[in-house]
Amino acid sequence: MEVGQLQRSFVEYMASLFREGFLDAQFSQLQQLQDDSNPDFVVEVVSLFFEDSERLLNDLTMALDQPNVDFKQVDAHVHQLKGSSSSVGAQRVKNCCVPFRNCCEEQNTETCLRCLQQIKQEYLLVKNKLQTLFELEQQIVAAGGAIPMVQ
Amino acid sequence: MLKELRTNGSTTTLGKPPKICLLCMSFMEKDDLKSAGIVDHVLTKPVRLSGLITCFQEAIGYQNKKRVTQPSTLGSLLTGKHILVVDDNNVNRRVAEGALKKYGAIVTCVDSGKAALTHLNPPHNFDACFMDLQMPEMDGFEATRQIRNLENKYNEKVDSGALLPGMSARVAHWHTPILAMTADVIQATNEECMKCGMDDYVSKPFEKGQLYSTVARFFGSG
């Protein structure tokens, strides 16, 4: 595929991610922080987010699997997830955290598990979307083009 | 008639030909006359005060040297400043660091209240600290309380003469600006923050406008 076509696909794909609420303005902020002195900033931060989230999701699964659930601990994990998803602009993941924390407060294992299920789904979705986005970037660069700035 | 006046080169006592300012009715006439070099300035009727003023200013060679003050930016406030970022979440740390570095700050990141204490024990080189509120073991409130304690003790020793200010003489009185970073602004009630010795708070992740107005209070505006 020629560069122009790749670039157009990239712009359209990016726009769809914002439109469908996967990403919010904070992601744009991250893109603006990337420059020549910090050329891989977005990929770096997003990679940290993936690592962090997967660890937290595993911790949450373990914590909710206990006979006596420590809801304070569960809440602490969700708080972390809310913070990091907010920092990268992963809007849908962030939005799952608020109802999750309410369920923790109510100390309801059932509803907590449902929240966990939902947040896992949203996380996997956004991970997939972001990986596709980065792949598109790589293809553009490999074809000798520049990555378009999307406002 | 005007052409004659010009060519005759009549002069004033100052030896310069007087400026001729013509009153005319329409804009179209104005341009023709001015470009023909017959008159120096043209005022369209009805004459307005502002028009008259501009005309005279131009005539006497007044140059509007109004100095445009450069609006100060986050860059001008933060460049070269040593900032400590305290947050137990590594994604948040990285993003805060990235934002501050973009504006030229020299950033150090730590992941706990305890580590913050070590770094902000006077004397030190930090110009300000951004402190997360909710951290395990020692939260932002407690860390700040302890830092102020350390600063007070140090200041007392300097005041009493027990300690020579030495290298830290640049700081007459230790009080490192500590700004709370919080996603939950309601939690960071001003009262709670102020009580433990914080100076202000900013939202997390950073919002440029708010960051600027908060930082400007401590580093001046330009």
Average pLDDT estimate for B57-71:
51
Q: What is the pLDDT of residue B194?
A: 85
- Residue B25, classed as helix, strand or coil, is coil
- Work out the minimum CA distance from B91 to partner chain A, whole angstroms: 6
Tens of pLDDT, residues B109-128: 999 999 999 999 999 999 99
Q: Could B95 and A83 be called an inter-chain contact, meaning their C-beta atoms sit closer than 8 Å? A: no
Higher pLDDT, B218 or A125: A125
Angle at A90 between CA A150 and CA A48, to 5 degrees: 100
Higher pLDDT, A35 or A131: A131
What is d(CA B70, CA B134) in angstroms, rounded to the nearest whole number?
38
Task: List chain B residues with CB under 8 Å of A28.
Answer: none
Residue A68, in any domain of the structure: yes
Average pLDDT estimate for B74-88:
93
* CATH code of the domain in which A126 resides: 1.20.120.160
- Work out the minimum CA distance from A90 to partner chain B, whole angstroms: 12
Q: What domain range includes position A23?
A: 1-143
What band does B182 get if pLDDT is binned at 50, 70 and 90?
confident
Long-range contacts of B200-208 (CB under 8 A, 24+ apart): B202/B130, B204/A83, B204/A86, B204/A87, B204/B92, B204/B96, B204/B132, B205/A26, B205/A29, B205/A86, B205/A87, B205/B92, B205/B95, B205/B96, B205/B99, B206/A29, B206/B96, B206/B99, B208/B74
Q: What is the pLDDT of residue A37?
A: 87
Please, are residues A82 and A74 in contact by the beta-carbon 8 Å criterion?
A: no
Q: Which amino acid is at B213?
A: S
Q: What is the pLDDT of residue B147?
A: 98
CA-closest candidate to residue A79, choices B99, B27, B204, B122? B204
Q: Could B205 and A29 be called an inter-chain contact, meaning their C-beta atoms sit closer than 8 Å? A: yes
Structural domains in chain B plus CATH codes:
2-66 (no CATH), 73-219 (3.40.50.2300)
Task: List chain B residues with CB under 8 Å of A44.
Answer: 94
Please, are residues A82 and A94 in contact by the beta-carbon 8 Å criterion?
A: yes
Q: What is the pLDDT of residue A73?
A: 95
Task: List chain B residues with CB under 8 Å of A76.
Answer: 136
- Is residue B71 scored above 60 in pLDDT? no
Average pLDDT estimate for B60-64:
51
Peptide bond into A67 cis (omega under 30): no
Task: Name the residue in chain A with its Cα closest to that of B184.
Answer: A83
Q: Closest partner residue to A87 among B101, B136, B205, by Cβ?
A: B205
Task: Name the residue in chain B with its Cα closest to that of A82.
Answer: B183
Q: Closest partner residue to A26 among B101, B136, B205, by Cβ?
A: B205
What is d(CA A140, CA A144) in angstroms, rounded to the nearest whole number?
6
- Work out the minimum CA distance from A39 to partner chain B, whole angstroms: 11
Q: Could B90 and A48 be called an inter-chain contact, meaning their C-beta atoms sit closer than 8 Å? A: yes
Q: Could A83 and B183 be called an inter-chain contact, meaning their C-beta atoms sit closer than 8 Å? A: yes
Please, are residues B85 and B110 in contact by the beta-carbon 8 Å criterion?
A: yes
What is d(CA A137, CA B9) in angstroms, rounded to the nearest whole number?
73
* Domains: count for chain A: 1
Average pLDDT estimate for B25-44:
59
Task: Name the residue in chain B with its Cα closest to that of A87.
Answer: B205
The first and second tokens of residue B67, run together, are 């100095």
Angle at B49 between CA B44 and CA B51, to 5 degrees: 40
ipTM: 0.93
Task: Name the residue in chain B with its Cα closest to that of A46.
Answer: B91
DSSP state of A145: P
Q: Which amino acid is at A141?
A: V
Average pLDDT estimate for B92-96:
96
Q: What is the pLDDT of residue B82?
A: 96
